């Protein structure tokens, strides 16, 4: 069933690898490709049921989460953010740990009857808010609700609960 036909909830998040250009500039495109593969693998490993991950642009990814409320999509995004943050990029030739990867997320919930472009716009605005307020965080598409999850997951639960 398409999101426009469903009476249940669906969500979208758009995420971006923080400072990705620095990986390519400082360590070369092979390391940049390694970062992209790492993130893609983590996204694939979090799939459930009908979730659809996609590469959205250079270092941006998106995931469509059918049958998922905003608060649950935010929890998924935060789990991915934490999983990525825990990984270290290692230079294969030397075994040297070179960097930590972080990501920023914008999450929005589909509103029945809205064009898909509006959903994407809200998720994209939330992503830019996450990047503009310090990166390595999840922000929600509702302009009144923005949360920093970097150091306080209870804040995420409180802000998400307020949004539902």
Mean pLDDT per 10-residue section of the chain, whose length is 164 residues: 57 96 88 90 89 90 94 95 92 83 96 90 96 96 47 41 39
Judge whether 59 counts as a catalytic residue. yes
79 backbone dihedrals φ, ψ, rounded to 5° = -65, -40
The pLDDT assigned to 42 comes to 94
43 backbone dihedrals φ, ψ, rounded to 5° = -60, -45
User: Architecture of 11-163 per CATH?
Assistant: 2-Layer Sandwich (3.30)
d(CA 156, CA 120): 21
The pLDDT assigned to 133 comes to 95
User: Interior CA angle at 129 toward 45 and 58, to 5°?
Assistant: 50
The pLDDT assigned to 89 comes to 85
d(CA 97, CA 10): 38
The pTM score is 0.80
- Show the DSSP H helices in 87-142 as ranges: 116-132
Please identify which of the residues 59, 96, 109, 121 carries the catalytic annotation.
Answer: 59
Burial status of residue 7 (CB atoms within 10 A of its CB: 0-12, 13-18, 19 or more):
exposed
Nearest Cα residue to 66 out of 83, 81, 49, 78: 49
């Amino acid at each position: 069933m398409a999101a426009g036909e469903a009476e249940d909830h669906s969500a979208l998040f758009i995420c971006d690898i923080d400072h990705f250009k620095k990986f390519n500039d400082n360590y070369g495109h092979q390391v940049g490709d390694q970062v992209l593969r790492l993130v893609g693998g983590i996204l694939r490993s979090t799939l459930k049921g009908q979730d659809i991950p996609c590469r959205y642009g250079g270092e941006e990814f998106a995931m469509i989460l059918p049958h998922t409320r905003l608060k649950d999509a935010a929890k998924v995004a935060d789990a991915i953010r934490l999983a990525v943050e825990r990984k270290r990029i290692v230079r294969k030739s030397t075994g040297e740990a070179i960097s930590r990867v972080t990501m920023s997320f914008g999450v929005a919930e589909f509103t029945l009857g809205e064009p898909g472009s509006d959903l994407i716009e809200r998720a994209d605005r939330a992503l830019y808010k996450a990047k503009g307020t310090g990166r390595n965080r999840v922000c929600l598409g509702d302009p009144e609700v923005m949360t920093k999850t970097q150091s306080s997951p209870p804040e995420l639960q409180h802000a998400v609960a307020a949004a539902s």
